[in-house]
Amino acid sequence: METKKRNWFVWLLSICLCLTLWPFQATVKAESVPLDIRADAAILVDAQTGRILYEKNIDAVLGIASMTKMMTEYLLLDAIKAKRVKWDQTYTPSDYVYRLSQDRSLSNVPLRKDGQYTVRELYEAMAIYSANAATVAIAEIIAGSEKNFVRMMNEKGKELGLKDYKFVNSTGLSNSDLKGFHPQGTSQDEENVMSARAMATLAYRLLKDHPEVLETASIPKKLFREGTDDEIRMDNWNWMLPGLVYKYEGVDGLKTGYTEFAGNCFTGTAKRNGVRLISVVMNAKNASGKTTKEARFEETKKLFNYGFNQYSLQTLYPKGYQLKGKEKLPVAKGKEKEVRVKTGKKLSLLVRNGEEKQYKPVYVLDKKKMTNEGKLIAPLKKGETVGYMTLEYKGDDSLAFLSPDMQKNIRVPLVTTVEVEKTNWFVLSMRAIGGLFADLWTSAVKAVKGWL
C-alpha cells in the first residue's frame, strides 16, 4: 500500500512538473532556433540606416557573378544624371559586343552588327534580363572601352567606401567567357569578387543615390524590340518579383548572379510598411548542399521573413524631446546663463520586437560651439544646432552598421529653443568681479572654519 501511494505521488508530481515546464521550454525553443542560412555568406540590412540585422561570413571575399551589373547600373545612372549620356542616344555594336551577343549559352539579347540601339534599350536588357553583351555596350558608351570602364568601376568602389572587392569586367562573367576580349590588364581566368558587406554597401548606395533603378529592376517581363523582327522575350531572373514563381510581397529588385566560380547569388530588396530591407546571399545551397537558382530565393525569403517579422519601425523619441536633467545647457558670454535645447527631428529606428527599452538617448555637443569648461558660446540663434542626440544600445547584440560612418544615420539634431544674445563688456566685467569676490569669500569662509 505504501509503495502504491509513493508511486502515485511520484506520477502526479511528474505530471505537474511537466505542465509547469512545458510553456517555458516551448518559449526557449522558439527563441533559440537559429536562422540557418545555407550560403557561403549572407547579410540582411536596414536600407534606411545601413544597420546590419543578420550576418554570416560577411567579410569573406567571394565571386559575385552578374551582381556586378549593379556597379554598371550605378555608373550609367551617374552618367545620365551628369548628362554625359542620354537615354535616347544610339549605339552600333563593336565586333566584341556583336560576337558576345550571339552566344545564347550566356544571358543575352542578340544584337545586329549594323544595328542601332538606344541606351535605354541596352539598359533594360541588362537590368531585366542580365544581358551581357548589352552590358559591355554600356561600358563602351560610357568609357570608350571596357578596359577604361573597369578602371572606373574600381575607382567608384573606392569612392563609395567599398572594401574587399575587385572588378575585372563589366558583366560578372568569367573572363574566360569573353571570347578573348577580356579587358587589358586582367587575366583570362579572373572573375569579379566582393564580400557580402561590400555587396550590400553597393546596393545601399545604389538605392540612396539612384532610387530610379527600381523602376526597371522591378519589371518581371518585357519584350526587347517589341514589334520588330528582333523581338525577344526578357524574363527577369529575379523570380521573387510579382507574378513570378518565387514571388514575395514587397520585392522590387535588385540583381541575381551565377557562374561556376561564384555559385548562385542574389542581392535582393523588399519594402513593407515603410521598411525597406536589403539582402545578399552568396553561393546559396539547397538542403542537399547543391547550389541552385531556387536556393538563392529560398534563403533570401528566410532573411526577409526574419527582418519583417522580428523588426518594426518605431519612433523612439519624438521631435522636441528633452533629455531629463539636460533640458538646459550652460551658456558663456550670454545675456542668459542657460538655454533650453530639444531634438529638431523625431528619432525613428528599426527595432527588434520587445527591445524598445534597450535604447537610451545620449547628447553629443558640438565642441566648436563650446568653451573648454563645457558651456555653449553666445550668441545663439533660436533653432541653432548645437550638437545631436544619438542612441546607446543596451541589448545583447551589437548595434552594427555596414560602415562606422553610417552610425550618423541614427542621429537627430539638438537645437536651441530660444535666442540667446551676447551680453556687453560691462556685464561680463561685473560677472568676472562678482566671481572674483565670490571666490575670495569662499576662501575666507573655509579659512575661518579651519581656525575654529
Q: How far apart are alpha carbons 395 and 296 in whole angstroms?
A: 31
> How distant, in Å, are the alpha carbons of 52, 335, 372, 386 from that of 366?
28, 21, 12, 6
Find out whether 71 and 151 touch, Cβ atoms under 8 Å: no
Find out whether 265 and 285 touch, Cβ atoms under 8 Å: no
Ramachandran region, residue 353 (left: φ > 0; alpha: ψ -120 to 50; beta: rest): beta
Catalytic residue check, 69: yes
CA angle 386, 360, 378 (to 5 degrees): 15
Find out whether 153 and 131 touch, Cβ atoms under 8 Å: no
Alpha carbon 374 to its chain's center: 35
| The three cell numbers locating residue 22 | 512545458
Sign of the four-CA dihedral 256, 35, 349, 399: negative
Q: How far apart are alpha carbons 436 and 320 in whole angstroms?
A: 38
Pick the catalytic residue from 130, 170, 195, 218.
Answer: 130
| Residue 376: strand pairing partners | 331, 370
Instruction: Note if the bond before 414 is cis, omega within 30 degrees.
Output: no
| Residue 387: strand pairing partners | 365, 414
Strands (E) in 125-262, as ranges, are 165-166, 193-194, 221-224, 232-235, 251-259
Find out whether 333 and 377 touch, Cβ atoms under 8 Å: yes
Give the helix/strand (H/E) hosting 187.
none
Residue 450 exposure: Cα atoms within 13 Å on the Cβ side: 6
Q: How far apart are alpha carbons 131 and 173 in whole angstroms?
A: 11
Q: How far apart are alpha carbons 265 and 195 in whole angstroms?
A: 12
Sign of the four-CA dihedral 161, 62, 311, 299: positive
Catalytic residue check, 312: no
Q: Where in the sequence numbering do the catalytic residues fall?
A: 66, 69, 130
